[in-house]
């Protein structure tokens, strides 16, 4: 089960493909779609003539806090950006979004069977704040890096009790 995340945004090459993947494969809830074709959007994003298709998602059963969503996907309808695979993790500007889960091995097996490209199978975390947990990196259809992180049983219990945020 997905447990928590904060608002984040990725630019994608196809909003329809990405909606299907984040909803049907990853398991997020689509809460809102909109087309932004107005006077302020090109000023906001700093791209003349920008027209955007936007999809907003939340983790099922988790309050998104002060917003209606936790993840926003953006397709630039105009002008189209260059379609490339996401940057390597060690490249400046690379980002990833981590989802807390309580079933990383099961998700890895299910998502691998569905054709999801994982960088690694679940790895045991042997040091640091998440010691005793497991994590796996994967890629969405555009090559954007995501992470599934399963905390140690003790840390997960503390998170559920509200003792750790």
Q: Quick: pLDDT tens for 93-134.
A: 788 899 999 999 999 999 999 999 999 999 999 999 889 999
Q: Is residue 91 part of a domain?
A: no
Total of domains in the chain? 2
In terms of residue numbers, what domain contains 148? 96-160
Q: Among 78, 113, 129, which residue terminates a domain?
A: 78
Instruction: Give a yes or no: residue 56 inside a domain.
Output: yes
* Global confidence as pTM: 0.87
* CATH number of residue 118's parent domain: 3.10.180.10
> Taking Cα atoms as reference points, which of 148, 11, 146 lies closest to residue 74?
11
Kindly state whether residues 65 and 116 are assigned to the same domain.
no
Q: Computed from CA positions of residues 90, 130, 152, 100, in that sequence, does the dihedral angle turn out positive or negative?
A: negative
**CA torsion, ordered 126, 106, 24, 16, to nearest 10 deg:** 40
Spatial distance between the Cα atoms of 108 and 138, rounded to a whole number of angstroms: 9
Answer yes or no: is 3 within a domain: no
pLDDT digits (tens, 9 = 90+) for 138-161: 999 999 999 999 999 888 888 888
Question: Are residues 74 and 34 both part of a single domain?
Answer: yes
Q: Provide the CA 67 distance to its chain's centre, in angstroms.
A: 16
């Amino acid at each position: 089960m997905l447990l928590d995340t904060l608002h984040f945004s990725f630019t994608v090459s196809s909003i329809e493909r990405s909606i299907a993947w984040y909803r049907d494969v990853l398991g997020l809830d689509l809460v809102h779609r909109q087309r932004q074709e107005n006077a302020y959007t090109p000023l906001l994003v700093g791209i003349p003539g920008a027209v955007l298709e936007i999809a907003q998602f939340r983790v099922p059963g988790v309050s998104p806090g002060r917003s209606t969503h936790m993840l926003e996907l953006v397709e630039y309808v105009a002008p189209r950006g260059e379609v490339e695979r996401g940057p390597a993790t060690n490249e400046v500007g690379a980002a990833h979004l981590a989802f807390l889960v309580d079933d990383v091995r099961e998700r890895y097996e299910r998502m691998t069977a569905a054709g999801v490209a994982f960088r690694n199978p679940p790895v045991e975390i042997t040091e640091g704040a998440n010691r005793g947990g497991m994590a796996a990196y994967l890629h969405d259809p555009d090559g954007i890096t995501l992470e599934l992180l399963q905390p140690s049983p003790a840390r997960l219990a503390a998170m559920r009790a509200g003792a750790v945020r």
